[in-house]
Structure 1
Amino acid sequence: MALRPYWSGHIRLSLVSLPVNIYAALNRSRTIAFHEIYKPTGERVRHQLVAGDKDVERDDIVKGYEVEKGEYVLIDPDEIKDLRIPSSDTLDIAEFVDAAAIDAIYFESPYYVAPAARSDQATFAVMRDAMRDTGKFGVGQLAIGGRERLCCLRPCGAGMMIETLRYEDEIRACDPYFDSIRDKRPNPDELDLAKELIKRRTATFDAGRFHDHYREALQELIDARIEHREPKPVEAERPTAKVVNLMDALRESLKASDKPTKSAPNNKTTRKKAS
C-alpha cells in the first residue's frame, strides 16, 4: 500500500529547492478510544447539530468570529482552506541553530521527511548529512494543520524530520513557579552523591525498554470485562528501600545501582531510532 503524505511541498535553502513529502510520525492507533454510551439502554450517544431550537445540516455551518457579544463575522471554511501564504507549499530555512539550542518545551509534533522522487535523493542526502556533521538544526515556518507553524528540520536515521515548535508567546513564563528556589544552593556532599548516582545510572536511551503501564491496565480492564472476570493487576517494580533524608536516599540508591537491574522487554519490531 502506497504511503499517503500528510503534506507535500519544498524545503528551500538559499537557491536550493528540494521537493519532499512529510508523514505523521506518531502512531495514534495505539491509543485506546471510547465512545459515549447511554447506560440504561447501551445505545451509543449521538451529538446533534442545533441552532436555537432548529436542527441544522452540516453543509449549512460556517465559521464565525465573535466581534461583540452575539455578533459574528462569518467566514466560509473553503475561504480558510484556500488561504495561500508563502509557507503553504515551501518551508524556507531561515537559519541554522545548534541542536542543543532549542529547549525541549518548544517541541510539539514530529513528522518524517522523505524525498519526493528518486531524482531528489542526492540533494536530500547532502542536506541531511551536512546538518548531521555540523550538529545543526534548520529553523523556518510552514503552514500545516490549519496554522503557520514554527518548525525545525533535523536528521533522523536515513531521512530527516520536521518537528513543529511552539511560539514563544505560547509558553508561560517560569518565573512565578521557580522564584522560591532561585537562590537555593545544594549541600556539596549531597550534590557529589547525586552526581555519582547519575554517573552510575547513565545509559544509552532506548525507548523500546519502556512501555505504557496505564494503557496495559486499561486494556486488561477491557479484556476482563469482555471475558467476565476480575482484571489482573499490572505489576510494576517499585523501590523498597526506606530512607529518612536525602543523604540516606542517595546512599541507598548508590547501593541499589551496584546490583544488576532487570531490563524491560524490548520489542525489536516496533523500536525506532532517531538521530
Structure 2
Amino acid sequence: MAARAIWKGQLRLSLVSIPVEVYSARSSGGRVSFRQIHEPSGKPVHYQKVVQGVGPVDSEEIMKGFETKDGDYLLLDPDEIDAIKPETKKTLELVQFVDTTEIAPIWFDRPYYVVPSDDLSEDAYRVVRDALRQTKKAGLGQLTMRGKEYLCAIRPCGDGLLMETLHYEEDIRDADPLFSGIADDPADKELLEVATELIDKKTAPFDASAFEDHYATALRDLIDRKLKSKKTPRAARSDDGGKEGGENVVDLMDALKKSLKETKGGGSKSRKKAS
C-alpha cells in the first residue's frame, strides 16, 4: 500500500514558502496484532459505553468531564471544546533555530518525513536542507493538525528532512524529585577508567538492523507453525464481523535576500514569535 500523506501545506522560512507533504516515519506493518474473538460464535468482541447502574448509553448523552479538586466533574459540551480547537493551518513556519544537540532526547515524541510536493519545490527544499546541515541546526515551529497544535523540530535526515514532534514543557515530569536521592559524589577513578575502556571497545556506528525484536520474531514463528497445523482451532469469520500544493517559489535567491534583510538583530524577531 502506498504511503499516504498525513499533512500537506507550506514549509516557510521567512519569505520562502515550500510546498511539502508530511508522512509518518513509523511502520506498523511488521507488528503482530490480535483481535479478541468470541470462540463459540467466531465474532469479534466489541465494547459498549456503559454507565454503572444504568447500562449502555447513547453517544448523544455523553459529555466531557473534568475532575475537580473536590472530586466532582465539571461537564463540558463537546461543541464547546470543538469551538476552541485551533484551525488547521496549512503553514509550518520555522520561527527559531537551535543546535541539533541542544534538544535532549526526552523532548522528542514522533518522527515524520517531510518531502517536497513537486519538482518545482525541490530547489528551495534542498537549500533549506543543506543550510540546516551546514549550520548543524534544527528549525522550530508549530504545526496544526487534526485539531491539535504540535511543537515541531525540522532537521536533515539523509537526502531529506525529518520532522519530529516535541513534547511541551508541561508534558515532561520534573526529574529532580527522582534524582535528588542519588549521591553527587564522583565515581571511583579506577572503576571509571575500566568503564570508559569497556565503552570504547564496544563503540561502533549505529546500525538498527543489528538489533532484533526477539519477542516479535518468536510470535511470528508461532503463528506460522499454527497456520501449518490442522490441529490449531479456528473461528470462521462471520458476515457481520468486518472491519469497522501551494505557491511556487519564483525567485528563491531574491526571497532569501529579502528575508535576510527583514530579519535584523540576530534573529530576535524569530525568538519573539517563538516565545
TM-score by length of 1: 0.72
* Structure 2 counterpart of 1:178: 179
List per-residue Cα deviations over 1:199-232 (Å, max 9, x = no partner). 1111010111111111112223333333449xxx
State the Cα distance separating 1:141 from its structure 2 match. Answer: 0.9
State the Cα distance separating 1:144 from its structure 2 match. Answer: 2.3
- Asked if 2 retains the 8 angstrom alpha-carbon contact of 1:67 and 1:73, the reply is no
* Structure 2 counterpart of 1:244: none
* Structure 1 counterpart of 2:156: 155
Q: Tell me, in whole angstroms, the C-alpha distance in 2 between the residues paired with 1:173 and 1:165.
A: 16
- Asked if 2 retains the 8 angstrom alpha-carbon contact of 1:11 and 1:17, the reply is yes
Q: Tell me, in whole angstroms, the C-alpha distance in 2 between the residues paired with 1:61 and 1:18.
A: 45
State the Cα distance separating 1:22 from its structure 2 match. Answer: 0.5
Q: 1:173 to 1:50 in 2, by over 3 A?
A: closer
SS at match of 2:112: strand
Q: Tell me, in whole angstroms, the C-alpha distance in 1 between the residues paired with 2:61 and 2:19.
A: 36
* Structure 2 counterpart of 1:192: 193
* Structure 1 counterpart of 2:19: 19
The residue correspondences of 1:11-160 to structure 2 (distance < 5 A) are 11-39=11-39, 42-49=42-49, 52-53=54-55, 56=58, 60=60, 64-66=64-66, 69=72, 72-76=75-79, 79=82, 83-84=86-87, 88-160=89-161
SS at match of 2:221: helix
- Asked if 2 retains the 8 angstrom alpha-carbon contact of 1:63 and 1:77, the reply is no
SS at match of 2:121: helix
- Asked if 2 retains the 8 angstrom alpha-carbon contact of 1:136 and 1:154, the reply is yes
Which structure 2 segments of 5+ residues have no match? 231-275
State the Cα distance separating 1:64 from its structure 2 match. Answer: 3.0
List per-residue Cα deviations over 1:28-84 (Å, max 9, x = no partner). 12221111123555542122356744563x6x5776354874663222499469841
State the Cα distance separating 1:108 from its structure 2 match. Answer: 0.7
Q: Tell me, in whole angstroms, the C-alpha distance in 2 between the residues paired with 1:50 and 1:176.
A: 39
State the Cα distance separating 1:182 from its structure 2 match. Answer: 4.0
State the Cα distance separating 1:91 from its structure 2 match. Answer: 1.1
SS at match of 1:97: strand
Q: Tell me, in whole angstroms, the C-alpha distance in 2 between the residues paired with 1:103 and 1:183.
A: 21
Q: Which residue identity is paired with 2:194?
A: L
Q: 1:36 to 1:106 in 2, by over 3 A?
A: same
Q: 1:62 to 1:158 in 2, by over 3 A?
A: farther
- Asked if 2 retains the 8 angstrom alpha-carbon contact of 1:12 and 1:93, the reply is yes
Q: Which residue identity is paired with 2:38?
A: Y
Q: Tell me, in whole angstroms, the C-alpha distance in 1 between the residues paired with 2:119 and 2:20.
A: 11
Q: Which residue identity is paired with 1:36?
A: Q
SS at match of 2:77: strand
Q: Which moved more, 1:149-158 or 1:181-190?
A: 181-190
Q: 1:118 to 1:26 in 2, by over 3 A?
A: same
List per-residue Cα deviations over 1:172-195 (Å, max 9, x = no partner). 111122122241321101101111
Higher relative contact order (CA 8 A, sep 6+): 2
Q: Which residue identity is paired with 1:19?
A: P
Could you tell me the percent identity over the aligned residues? 39
Q: Which moved more, 1:70-79 or 1:2-11?
A: 70-79
The CA RMSD over aligned residues, in Å, is 2.9
State the Cα distance separating 1:92 from its structure 2 match. Answer: 1.4
Q: 1:81 to 1:218 in 2, by over 3 A?
A: farther
Which structure 1 segments of 5+ residues have no match? 230-275
- Asked if 2 retains the 8 angstrom alpha-carbon contact of 1:140 and 1:152, the reply is yes
* Structure 2 counterpart of 1:10: 10
